Amino acid sequence: MSTFFRSSLRSFATTAKSAHHNNHRDNHKFLPPTSFLGSWEAPKDPKEAEAKLAQLRRDYAKQVKELRKEYIEEMELMRLEKQRKDEARREALRVATEERKRLKAQEAEIRAQQRNIEQQQFRETLLKERAEKLEYWRRKVKMHEEKKAEKNELLRRQSSMWVDEAEIEKQILDTVIATTHF
């Protein structure tokens, strides 16, 4: 079964190739005949034949020289075109590189500005917290001083009621003397 398949596949491929070849042969257009071919008539004199052959060689050399000039000019034009395209490509790459560098620099500048803003906000937060802590500490110190002052005031009031020992003895003595006189 596989042999049959292969042979039919081969015959199909062969017919496809030959059909293409035949189609190409049918559509081919030949160049018109040139006046140069078949124009040689053998001269009877060998010197004349030699002169004609030399003339043909010179004409051929001129044609080859012209073709070479045209080829060199075409190659030079192609080289110049390639050089122009290469320069344009290099210029485009340079411009693209500069643009990328400029964008990178802008992004770096934006990141630096954001970092500065964040650092400034952090400093402000830190200063605010320090100010709050300082205010809290001052209130504590003030409350402590007020309590101490209240305690001292209370102690002073209570101590104003107290009398010194020497004073007490004098008052007792005065009281005893005063009570004994009656």
Give Cα separations from 32 to 35, 37, 64, 117 (angstroms): 10, 11, 21, 84
Domain total in the chain: 1
Q: Are 52 and 59 in contact (CB under 8 A)?
A: no
For residue 3, is it within any domain? no
For residue 166, is it within any domain? yes
pLDDT digits 0-9 by tens, 46-92:
888 888 889 989 999 999 999 999 999 999 999 999 999 999 999 99
First to last CA, the chain: 163
pLDDT digits 0-9 by tens, 91-138:
999 999 999 999 999 999 999 999 999 999 999 999 999 999 999 999
Tell me the pTM. 0.39
For residue 108, is it within any domain? yes
For residue 75, is it within any domain? yes
Q: What's the domain range around 82?
A: 44-180
Tokens at residue 163, please? 């009398």
For residue 125, is it within any domain? yes
For residue 26, is it within any domain? no
Q: Based on the number of CB atoms within 10 Å of its own CB, is 86 exposed (0-12), middle (13-18) or buried (19 or more)?
A: exposed
Q: Are 52 and 43 in contact (CB under 8 A)?
A: yes
